[in-house]
Amino acid sequence: MRILGVDPGLTRCGLGVIESASARRVTLVDVRVATSPSTLETPARLAQISAVLEAVLDEHRPEALAMERIFARSNVSTIMGTAQVSGVIMLAAERRGIPLSLYTPSEVKAAVTGDGRAGKEQVTFMVQRLLGLAEAPRPADAADALAIGIAHAWRGAAAPVGSGATTDAQRRWAEAEKAARRRS
Amino acid sequence: MRILGVDPGLTRCGLGVIESASARRVTLVDVRVATSPSTLETPARLAQISAVLEAVLDEHRPEALAMERIFARSNVSTIMGTAQVSGVIMLAAERRGIPLSLYTPSEVKAAVTGDGRAGKEQVTFMVQRLLGLAEAPRPADAADALAIGIAHAWRGAAAPVGSGATTDAQRRWAEAEKAARRRS
Per-residue confidence in pLDDT tens, chain B, 184 aa? 999 999 999 999 999 999 998 656 899 999 999 999 999 999 999 999 999 999 999 999 999 999 999 876 656 667 889 999 999 999 999 999 999 999 999 999 999 988 999 999 999 999 999 999 999 998 889 999 999 999 999 875 443 333 334 445 555 555 555 554 454 4
CB A53 within 8 A of CB A92: yes
Q: In the annotation, is B144 catalytic?
A: no
pLDDT, residue B155, reads 79
CB–CB contact A83 B87 (8 Å): yes
CB B4 within 8 A of CB B119: no
Angle between the N-to-C axes of helices B140-154 and B105-113, in degrees from 0 to 180, rounded to the nearest 10: 80
pLDDT, residue B70, reads 84
CA distance B31 to chain A (A): 23
C-alpha distances out from residue A19 to A8, A58, A110, B87, Å: 20, 16, 20, 29
pLDDT, residue B25, reads 86
Please give the interface size between A and B, counted as residue pairs whose CB atoms are below 8 Å apart.
69
Q: In the annotation, is B7 catalytic?
A: yes
Say how many residues make up chain A: 184
Work out the mean pLDDT of chain A and round it to a whole number: 85
CB–CB contact B100 A46 (8 Å): no
CA distance A4 to chain B (A): 16
Q: In the annotation, is A58 catalytic?
A: no
Please tell me whether B144 is known to bind a ligand.
no
**A164 band by pLDDT with thresholds 50, 70 and 90:** very low
Please tell me whether B68 is known to bind a ligand.
yes
pLDDT, residue A76, reads 65
Question: What are the tens digits of pLDDT across the range A131-147?
Answer: 999 999 988 899 999 99
CB B181 within 8 A of CB B156: no
d(CA A20, CA A51): 25
CATH no. of A2-183? 3.30.420.10
Who has greater pLDDT, B77 or A81?
A81
Taking CB atoms within 8 Å and a gap of at least 24, the contacts of A51-54 are: A52/A13, A52/A15, A53/A6, A53/A13, A53/A15, A53/A88, A53/A89, A53/A92, A54/A92
Give the three-state DSSP class for B32. Answer: strand
Nearest CA in chain A to B48: A91
Q: How many CB atoms lie within 10 A of CB A42?
A: 21
C-alpha distances out from residue A133 to A54, A173, B30, Å: 25, 20, 56
pLDDT, residue A184, reads 41
